[in-house]
Amino acid sequence: MFGTNLTDPNEIKRGPTFLVQPQTTVIVGEVAQTYIECIAQSNPQPIYVWYKKVRNDPPVLVTSDDHYIITNGKFTITQPTEWKDEGSYQCQAQNELGTILSDPVDIYFGYLFEFSNDPPGSVTAFQYKGTVMNCKAPAYNPAIDIKWYKEDGGPNFLRTDLHPHLFVSMNGHFYISESASQDGGFYHCVVALMPPVGQIMSTSQPPSRTSLGIELIIKGDSPSDYGPEIHNDFPAVFPTPALRGDTLTLECFAYGKLPLYYSWRKDNGPIPSKSQYSEHNRVITLPNAELEDAGNYTCQVDRGNSAKAEKSINVKIEAKPFFIFPLKDQHIDIDRQFTWRCEARGIPQPVYHWYKNGVLITAADTTVEVKANVLKIAQAQPLVHQGMYQCSASNIHGTVFTSAQLRVLAFKPSFRRRPLNPTQLGTEGGSLTFICQPEAAPAPTITWKKDNVPLTATDPDGRIVQLPNGNLFMKDLQRSDSGTYECTATNSLGSDSSRGVLTVSSKTVMTVKPSNTQVQVNATAFLRCQASYDEAQKDMVYVWDLNGRPINYAIEPHYVLGTQTSLTGLYITNAQVYHTGTYGCSAVTSDDSVRHTAYLQVFGPPGECGGVIAKITDRDATIKWALGPTNMAEITKFRIEFNTNFNETWRMLKDDIAYVDAVDHNREGRCIYDVPGLKPGSSYRFRIIAYNRYGAGPPSLPSSLYKVPDAAPVAMVTGIREGWGPVGILALEWDLLAPEDLTGNDVGYKIYYRKKSTSLDAKWNLGEVFEENKYAATVGADNYYLEYEVKIAGFNSIGHGPNSSVVIIMSQADMPLGAATQVYVESYNATALVVRWTPIPLLREYIRGRVVGYGINYWRPGEGMDSSNMYCYDDCGSEILVGLEPDSYYWVNVQVFTTAGMGTLSEDAYGKTFGSQPHFYPKYVHVNSYKGNAVFVLWKGVSNARSEEPIIGYKLRWWPSTEDIRKANITVIAQKKTTAVIHGIRKGIVYSLRVMAYSNGGDGVSSPTTYFTLEGQVMFNPETTDILNAALPTRPLNILLLSASVLCTYLALDR
C-alpha cells in the first residue's frame, strides 16, 4: 500500500505469483485424458499460456483444439500419445503488471513389460546356510515396487518383520540368513509400477506383474556356527542417486547362524535423530533427506559373542536446486541504484538465469546487468524497470524459479497516512520520541521546528536529538518543552509537513500507543508501546495481555519483549492465525498506570469448514458445507476427501475445486458440489479442506456415513498375468479387486479364455472362481506355449461387472530341444575371454517356450565343469567372461535356458587368456606449451616383464581438473613413442593428465596426476599445494629456455 491511497490490501494491483506449480506426470497405458495445472494469484486475474519443448527444439506455444484444452491454468490432453505429447511443458501467467513462468515439468510415458513365460528354474540351498533369490524384473519405466510371496495354500506375502532370517531388499532380491527345511517351496516376485517422488501417475491403478514360481530346494547339511558374513550386496542405499527430499533407505544383511544383531554408526557425528529403524535394525529409513545426512555409515553385525563383521558405505546426497534466499517483492526509489540477489543450493552447483516478464535477460540487455545470481540496476526508471522478475536455478536434477515484483516509485512526501500524533504527552524528567514517518520517494530530508522556530538537534549527546530515521528523541523533559512541533519532509518532487502538540506533565502517559496491525502468517509483527514517566522518582514495567489474559512469556515463545528504532514494544514472531486478537499494553509504576489496546489481524489459511452433509443419488453425491473464517484472504479452492467402511484412510475424492464452482449462490456462506462415480455398496464419509493464498486450512469434522446403493461391480479387473503350472495348463493370476470395488453377496470372478485366432467369432471358454485370484485351465500338452486371449470380470449376486481388456497370456512352456552350435573362444585381455556361438533357431518346435538367455559354463583343466558359470539374457550369441586368471587355459560350453528350464549342453571349446597388462607406470611426465591450442608431452617409457604382454603403445588420459575423471579425453599413441601432442586445449583452464602403457593384456598402471595449462605444466609443492610457477613466463625466449631445460632433464634421467 506504500505510495497509494488504498487501505484494503485486496484492492492493490499486483503481478502474478504461483499458488500451485504443475507436476511431472507419468502416463501409463491408454487413458482418455490427462492434465497438468498451474494456479496463480494476481490483481487483476492472470491469463495463462502453455509452452511445450521437445528435446533441444525451441519452446512452442500450445493452442487449444480438440486435442489440447486450456481452461485457466489447467492444460488437458485428450487421448495422449507418446509421439505427439511427450515433452517438457511450462506454464506462463500474466496480467498488466507482468509475466512469470512456472517450473518446467515433463509428460512422459511409463511401461511395465511382462515377466518371461518360461519357468525360471530352481534355486538350491543347503540347510543352515544362507541363500539369495533374484527377481529378474521385466523392463520398466520409471520405477517399481517389489514384493515376494510364497505358495503355501495361497499367496502369502513374506512377513520379514516376523521372521528375522528372511529379508527382501529394495534391489528386488530375496535373502535368507540361515536356510531351514520349512523355507523350501515356490516363491513369486510381484512388481508394481510406481512414480518417483514428486511425480504423479495418470492412473490410480498402476500395472503390476507377478513372476512364475521360483522353487527353493533345501538340501540337508550339518548345523554349524558360522558368520556373520555381510553379503556383497550390502550395505546399500536406495534410491541411487539419492536426492534431497527423498526418503532414503539404508540396508544391511548378513549370512550366519541366528540370532544376528545389527547396529549402525555414522562417521563424524550421530545417526540423524529423524531416522527410523526397522527389519530388526537391518534397515534405516531417513525421511526427507537433507544434504547434512550424507556421510559414511557403518553396519555392524554380531552373534552375541566374539564373532562379528562390519562394512561401510559412503552415502552421497545430491539436490535439485532450492532457494535459501528467494526473491521478495521490492519497491525502490526512482534513479536509485539497486542490487537484487537470489541464492540457491544444489548438487551439482546450480546455474542461474534471470527473466523479466517471462523473457530471458541476456548480455544484450543494457538496462540491467546480470552476473550469476546477482542483478544490478544502475538508475531505476519506472517505464524501463518495473515488472515481474524471476531468477532460475538449474542443474541436472531440474530447474526452479523464484519470482517477485519490482515497483519503481516517485512521489512527493505525504503525511496523509502517517501524520504526527496531534497530541503528545510527556512527564517531567522522562523521555519520548516524536515519530515522523512520511511516505516519499525518493527518501526525504527531515527537518523539525518548535513553535515555528527551527530546531538544532544534531548533537548526539544533546537532550533533544534527531535520529537517523527522522524521529525526534527527547530526554529529561522539561515543562518548557511543551509546545507545537512540526516535522517537514522534502524531496526533489516537493514537501509536506505535519504538526503535533507536546504537553509535559508529571503523570505517566502513553507517548506511543499500540496501533492496529496486520501481518501475514509465519511473519513477525511488532506492537509499539512507550510511556513517559518520571524516571528519577519511579520505576515502570510494561504488562501485555491478549483479549484480557496476561501473556506468559515462559510458555508462549512466540511473544518477545524488545525494541525497534528506540521504541519499546512486543514482538509476535512466526505469527499464526490464533494470535489474532486485541492486545493491551499497560505501563505500570508504583503509583499509577496507563493502558491502551490495539487489534492484531493475522492473515493466514482459512478456518475449518463445518456442517458437512451429503445426499446420495445412485452413484452420485451432492455434498454441502458451511464456510469457515477466511482469515482476511479470499478462499480460492476446496478439496473433498473421503473414507469408507472398508478403508478408513482419508483419500482425495476431488481436488482443486475452484471457489466459484462450489459457492451456493442461493445461500450465503454455504457451498455445494456434485461428485459422480462413487463405488456401489460402500458407505462414504466426507470432509472438506479450504485453501487461500496462504495455504490449506484444517480439515472439517467428517460427515455421517452415507450408503451407496448396491449394484453390480463397476471396477475393471487389472493385473492379469501368467500363473504357474505344468505343461498343458493355461495358468492365470490377477489383482484382486479392493473390498470397496467388489461388494455384496456371492462375489467372485468370471474368466473367459480362448486360443488366439483371426476369427472374431471364436468361442470363449468360461471359468469361475470365488474370492481368489488364480485359475488354471487344461488345454493339452500339444498346446504348449501358445497365445490365449483372456478377459476377466468381477460379479456379485446382483450382476456382472465390466470385462477387463483382452490380455494375451501364454500357455505353459515345455523343455527346449537342441543345443547351441559353433562354439569358439577368443582372447580378450589378461582376465577375459570372448565366447561366441550360434543360437538355437527361434522356432516354437525348438524353443518350446521363450528364450530367457544362455548359460556359459567355464573351468580350468583339471577342475569340474560346475566350478564357474555366468549368464547372458535374451537371444544372445556372445558373452565376455571376466575375472579370469592371466595366461591361463579354459574349457567352455553353452546351454540355452527358457522359462521352462535349462537346455542341452553344447560341445566344449578351448581358449587362453593373454598375459598380464603392464604393471609399471611411465615416469617423469612433462608438459610444455606448443603451437596453437596444443601442448607437447614427453615421458620416460616402461618395459614389460616376462609375464606381461608386449607393450603396444601408450594412452594419455586428460581432463579439466574441476571435472570427473570419468569424462576424461583419451589420446592413443599406437606405438612405443614417448612423446605426444595433445590438441584441443582451451586457454585459462587447468587440466589433469595421467599416462599409461597398454598391451593385449589391457591398460597398465597410470602415472601420478600431472597438472598443466595451455602455457605448460603447473608445478606445485605436494606437501603444501602451493603453486610454484603461478605467474608463468609468456615471452617466447623464456618459454623456449624452459622447454629446453625440461628436455635436458628428461634426457639425463632417461640414461
Q: Is residue 758 part of a domain?
A: yes
508 CB contacts (<8 Å, ≥6 apart)? Answer: 427, 531, 532, 533, 534, 538, 540, 587, 589, 592, 593, 594
Cα angle, residue 737 at apex, residues 733 and 739 outer, rounded to 5°: 140
Find how far residue 1038's CA is from the centre of its chain: 54
- Does the pLDDT of residue 1030 top 60, yes or no? no
The residue with greater pLDDT, 1024 or 970, is 970
| Residue 1003 is assigned to a structural domain of this protein | yes
pLDDT-derived band at 565, boundaries 50, 70, 90? confident
> What is the distance between the alpha carbons of residues 288 and 245, in angstroms, rounded to a whole number?
4
- Write the pLDDT tens digit of every residue in 409-463: 999 999 988 899 998 888 777 888 999 999 999 999 999 999 999 998 777 788 9
Q: Where are the beta strands (DSSP E) in 618-650?
A: 620-626, 635-644
For residue 305, give the H/E element and its range. none
pLDDT (tens digit per residue) in 533-559: 877 777 899 999 999 999 999 899 999
pLDDT at 405 exceeding the cut of 80: yes
Distance (Å, whole) CA 733 – CA 277:
35
Give the model's pLDDT for residue 1047.
38
Burial 223-237 (b: 16+ CB within 10 A, else e): eeeebbebbeebbbb
Give strand pairing partners of 951: 999
- pLDDT digits over 843-858, tens only? 888 888 889 999 999 9
The order of strands in the sheet holding 464-466 is 432-434, 472-474, 464-466
Residue 48 covered by a domain: yes
Kindly give, in sequence order, each residue whose CB lies less than 8 Å from that of residue 456, ignoring residues fewer than 6 positions away. none
Mean pLDDT of 619-646: 94
564 and 540 in a common domain: yes
Q: Is 31 a member of any domain?
A: yes
Q: What is the mean pLDDT of residues 118-143?
A: 91
Q: Copy the grid coordinates of residue 704.
A: 455421517
Q: What is the CATH number of the domain that holds 495?
A: 2.60.40.10
**Predicted pLDDT of residue 945:** 84
User: Does 141 reside within a domain?
Assistant: yes
Confidence of residue 1044 (pLDDT cuts 50, 70, 90): very low
Q: How far apart are CA 644 and CA 502, in angstroms?
A: 70
**Chosen domain end from 581, 603, 625:** 603
Identify each DSSP E strand in 6-85 by its residue range. 14-20, 25-28, 33-37, 39-43, 47-53, 60-62, 68-71, 74-78
What are the angstrom distances between the C-alpha of 10 and each of 632, 681, 897?
Answer: 9, 47, 72
User: How many of the other CB atoms lie within 10 Å of CB of 961?
Assistant: 16
Q: Where a domain ends, among 912, 941, 973?
A: 912
Cell digits of residue 811? 500357455
pLDDT, the chain, mean: 90
Residue 284 has pLDDT above 90, yes or no: yes
Arithmetic mean of pLDDT, 259-288: 92
**pLDDT for the residue 999:** 93
Domain match, 515 and 472 both:
no
Partnered with residue 561 across adjacent β-strands are 570
890 forms beta bridges with 911
Let me know: does 389 contact 361? Beta carbons within 8 Å: no
Give me the pLDDT at residue 950, please. Answer: 92
One domain, residues 931 and 1042: yes
Query: Cβ atoms within 10 A of the Cβ of 992, count?
Result: 18
The pLDDT, as a whole number, for residue 543 is 96
Mark whether 309 and 333 lie in a shared domain. Answer: no
Report pLDDT for 975: 87
Task: Tell me if 197 is assigned to some domain.
Answer: no
Confidence of residue 152 (pLDDT cuts 50, 70, 90): confident
At CA 202, angle to CA 201 and CA 206, rounded to 5?
Answer: 65
Question: Concatenated DSSP letters for 499-537?
Answer: EEEEEEESS-EEEE----EEEETTS-EEEE-EEE--TTT
Q: Is residue 292 one of the residues assigned to a domain?
A: yes
Give 474's strand partners: 432, 464
Q: Which of 179, 169, 94 has the alpha carbon at shortest distance from 128? A: 179
Half-sphere exposure of 175 (CA within 13 A, CB side): 24
pLDDT over threshold 80, residue 1024: no
Environment class of residue 539 by beta-carbon count within 10 Å: exposed (0-12), middle (13-18) or buried (19+)? exposed
Residues 219 and 134 in one domain: yes
Name the residue with higher pLDDT: 181 or 506: 181
Residue 574 has pLDDT above 70, yes or no: yes
Beta-sheet pairing, 670-675 with 774-778 = unpaired
pLDDT higher than threshold 70 for residue 1028: no
Residue 1051, pLDDT > 50, answer no
Q: What are phi and psi of 181, to 5 degrees?
A: -60, -35
Q: How confident is the model at residue 508 (pLDDT cuts 50, 70, 90)?
A: confident
pLDDT at 865 over 80: no
Tens of pLDDT, residue by residue over 774-828, are 999 999 988 999 999 999 999 998 999 999 999 999 999 998 888 999 999 999 9
User: 714 in a domain, yes or no?
Assistant: no
Q: Which residues pair with 90 in a beta bridge?
A: 51
CA–CA separation, 335 vs 3, rounded Å? 16
H helix runs in 178-322, sequence order: none
Residues 72 and 141 occupy one common structural domain: no
Q: Span 90-101, mean pLDDT?
A: 95
935 contacts 983 by C-beta, under 8 angstroms: no
Residues 883 and 958 in one domain: no
Tell me 1047's DSSP state: H
Q: pLDDT tens, 348-369?
A: 999 999 999 999 999 888 889 9
> How many CB atoms lie under 10 A from the CB of residue 130?
22
The Cα 578–Cα 522 span in angstroms is 12
Alpha carbons 685 and 703: distance in angstroms, whole number: 6
pLDDT for 460-485, tens place per residue?
788 999 999 999 999 988 889 999 99
What grid cell was written down for 472? 525526534
What mean pLDDT comes out for the span 688-695? 93
Q: How far is CA 578 from CA 364, 600, 632, 637, 798, in A?
A: 51, 10, 13, 22, 53
Boundary of a domain, candidates 647, 673, 707: 707
Q: What is the largest CA-CA distance in the chain?
A: 120
Buried b (16+ CB within 10 A) or exposed e, 595-629: ebbbebbbbbbbbebebbebebeeeebebbbbbbe
Cα distance between the two ends of the chain: 84
In this structure, the strands spanning 635-644 and 651-658 are antiparallel
Q: Are 529 and 514 in contact (CB under 8 A)?
A: yes
pLDDT 10s digits, 650-663: 999 999 999 999 99
What pairs with residue 981 in β-bridges? 936
- 350-365 as b/e: b if 16+ CB within 10 A: bebbbbbbbeebeeee
Half-sphere exposure of 715 (CA within 13 A, CB side): 22
> Percent of the chain, pLDDT > 90?
72
Q: Are 536 and 429 in contact (CB under 8 A)?
A: yes
Measured between alpha carbons, how far is 773 from 901 in angstroms, rounded to an integer? Answer: 26
| pLDDT given at position 1023 | 66
Which candidate, 552, 560, 549, places its Cα nearest to that of 584?
549
Name the DSSP letter for residue 95. E
**Could you list the residue range(s) of the whole structural domain that residue 904 is in?**
821-912
Which range among 435-444, 989-998, 1018-1027 shows the weakest confidence by mean pLDDT? 1018-1027
Same domain (yes/no): 101, 161 = no
Q: What is the DSSP secondary structure assignment for residue 10, as one 8-state letter? A: G
Do 381 and 279 lie in a common domain? no
- 398 and 320 in contact (C-beta within 8 Å)? yes
939-954 pLDDT, tens per residue?
999 988 888 999 999 9
- Is the domain of 851 the same as that of 885? yes
Residues 511 and 585: their CA atoms lie apart, in Å, by 12
Count of domains observed in the chain: 10
The whole-model pTM stands at 0.53
How many CA within 13 A on the CB side of residue 393? 23
Of residues 488 and 60, the one with the higher pLDDT is: 488
Do 953 and 1044 lie in one domain? The reply is yes
Angle, CA of 943, 948 and 949, to the nearest 5°: 90
Q: What would the 3-class secondary structure string for 140-170 be?
A: EECEEEEEEEEECCCEEECCCCCCCCEEECC
Asked if residue 665 and residue 544 are part of one domain, the reply reads no
How large is the average pLDDT for residues 968-983?
93
Confidence of residue 223 (pLDDT cuts 50, 70, 90): confident
Residue 277: pLDDT over 90:
yes
